Amino acid sequence: MTQVESKSVLIVGAGPVGLAAAIELSLRNIEVRIVEMRSAPSTYSKAIGINARSLDLLEPSGVTRRLLQLGHKIPGIDFQHPDGNSFSIEFAKVRHRYNFMLGLPQSETERVLESRLSELGVHVERNTRLERLQQNERAVTARLTSEDRAETIDADFVIGADGAHSTVREHLNIRFEGHRMPGDWSLADVRLDASFPDNRASVCFGDDGLLFALSFNPGVFRIASDRPNVVARLPEGSVVHEVLWESDFVVNHRVAETLAVGRVALAGDAAHVHSPLGARGMNLGIEDAMALVDAICNNQLSEYSTARRAVSRAVVRMVKAQTRLATARDPLLKVARRYVAPRLLGVDAIHRAVASRMLGLGY
Ligand SMILES: Cc1cc2nc3c(=O)[nH]c(=O)nc-3n(C[C@H](O)[C@H](O)[C@H](O)COP(=O)(O)OP(=O)(O)OC[C@H]3O[C@@H](n4cnc5c(N)ncnc54)[C@H](O)[C@@H]3O)c2cc1C
C-alpha cells in the first residue's frame, strides 16, 4: 500500500460504494470529502446479501466485525421446480472462512459504514449535489450546491459513486452500454407466515414466473419476482401480516464504456448495473471502491478502468446468463434448467466453482 498524504478526493454519492471508498481513503490519510444529495440516510433494504469478498475487503477497517454481529449467515440457496423436484447451492462447500452470504438490509450496512467513517473524522455532507465537473491535467473543479449556498472546489481526484443515473458519468459523456430486459419485475419486504425456510434463500421456478424469498429479519422476508405484483404470487396458504416496502422495477444489464477519464473515475452502480439475481450489485461496487483507492494512491486510474471494466463485464455476463436461465420461458432453456443444472451442480468441483463465484471469489 502506498500512502500519499497530499492528495485530495471528492466522492459524489454516499451509498455503500461511496462510503466504503471514503473509509479506505481516510485510513490511508488521504483528504476526502463525500457529498450526498439526499437529506437523510436511505431506509430501504435493497441489497440484502453481503458476500465473502466484501467481508474480506472490509475487514481491515473493522467494518466486517460489526456487520457479522448484525447480520445472519445464509448457508445456501434452494431451487424448486413446479413438479416438486429441487436442488441447491451450498456455500459451505467453498473453502473460505466466510463461506456464506451475510443477510443484512442495505440500510443497516450503510449505517455501519457511515458510523465507521464518522469515527475516522469524515462526515457525509448531505443536501449537497454535484452540479458540474471540469478537469485539466492538474485538478478537477466541481460545482456543488446545497439548500442555501453554492461552492466551487478543486480536488485531485473525483469518484463518481452516484448510482445508476450517475451525474458524473453524464458529465464525462460516457456511454452506459447494454440493454434493458423486457418485462417488469417486482419486489416486496413482507412480514409473513409461509413455508419458506428462515435462514436460506429460495427460488421457485413456476410456469408463470419465478419467486425468490429470503428472510432478513425474524419473520420478515424479501420476496421478488420477474413479474409484477409479487405479493399476489406467494404460495397458497401464505399469510401476509404487513407489507413494509413494495417496488416494481426494470432490469438493465449495462457497463460503462470506460470507468475513468483523466482524474475522474466511476465505481458501483455508476459503472455497472444488472439483475439482482446473484446479489452482486453492491458487492461488486465495494470491490470497485477498494481497487479505485489503490489506483488513486498509485496514479493508475487508466489501469483501474481496464481491469475493473473487464471484471464488471465478466460479472454482468454471468449474472445475465443466470437470469436468462432462471426466468426462461423457452422450452430448451427450461429443459436445461430442469435437468442439466442439477446434474452439473452434482459434480463437486463445479458446485464449488459456482458457489465461489456467487460469493465474489475467483475473479
Ligand atoms: C429496489 C432495489 C433492490 C435491490 N436489490 C438488490 C439486491 O437484492 N442485491 C444486490 O446486490 N443489489 C440490489 N440492489 C442494488 C444495490 O442497491 C446497488 O447495487 C447499490 O446500492 C449500489 O451502491 P452505490 O453506492 O453504487 O449506489 P447507490 O446506492 O445508488 O448510491 C448513490 C448515491 O449517490 C447519490 N447521488 C446521485 N447523484 C448525486 C449528485 N449529483 N450529487 C450528490 N449525490 C448524488 C444518491 O442520492 C445515492 O445516495 C437493489 C437496488 C434497488 C433499487
Looking at residue 152, its pLDDT comes to 97
The β-bridge partners of 142 are: 133, 153
pLDDT digits (tens, 9 = 90+) for 155-201: 999 999 999 999 999 999 999 999 999 999 999 999 999 888 888 99
Average pLDDT over residues 231-257: 94
pLDDT digits (tens, 9 = 90+) for 190-223: 999 988 888 899 999 987 899 999 998 888 999 9
Percentage, residues of the chain above pLDDT 90: 87
Number of the ligand 1 atom closest to the C-alpha atom of 166: 38
Query: Is the CB of residue 48 below 6 angstroms from any atom belonging to ligand 1?
Result: yes
How many angstroms separate the alpha carbon of residue 344 from the centre of ligand 1? 34
DSSP characters for 228-263?
S-GGGGSPTT-EEEEEEEEEEE--EEEEES-SEETT
Query: Which residues, 6+ apart, have CB-to-CB distance to 258 below 8 Å?
Result: 174, 305, 309
pLDDT digits (tens, 9 = 90+) for 309-344: 999 999 999 999 999 999 988 889 988 999 999 999
Please give the Cα distance from 167 to 169 (Å, whole number). 5
Looking at residue 208, its pLDDT comes to 82
Query: Is the CB of residue 15 below 6 angstroms from any atom belonging to ligand 1?
Result: yes
How many angstroms separate the alpha carbon of residue 205 from the centre of ligand 1? 28
The β-bridge partners of 203 are: 79, 212
Query: Is the CB of residue 47 below 6 angstroms from any atom belonging to ligand 1?
Result: yes
Query: Is the CB of residue 286 below 6 angstroms from any atom belonging to ligand 1?
Result: no
Report whether pLDDT(96) > 70.
Answer: yes
Average pLDDT over residues 214-233: 93
How sure is the predictor about 82, in pLDDT bands with cuts at 50, 70 and 90?
confident
Grid coordinates given for 272: 455497472
Q: Of the residues 282, 286, 287, which should be mutated to test ligand 1's pocket, given the most ligand atoms within 8 Å of the CB?
A: 282
Looking at residue 1, its pLDDT comes to 45
Looking at residue 206, its pLDDT comes to 85
Looking at residue 363, its pLDDT comes to 67
User: Domain coordinates of the chain in residue numbers?
Assistant: 8-48+105-181+252-326, 185-249
How many angstroms separate the alpha carbon of residue 86 from the centre of ligand 1? 33
Weakest-pLDDT range from 22-31, 123-132, 253-262, 353-362: 353-362
Task: Specify the CATH class of 185-249 in words.
Answer: alpha beta
Report whether pLDDT(279) > 80.
Answer: no
Please give the Cα distance from 262 to 245 (Å, whole number). 40
Looking at residue 319, its pLDDT comes to 93
CATH hierarchy code of domain 8-48+105-181+252-326:
3.50.50.60
Dihedral of CA atoms 116, 122, 125, 131 in degrees, nearest 10, equals: -110
Please give the Cα distance from 114 to 108 (Å, whole number). 10
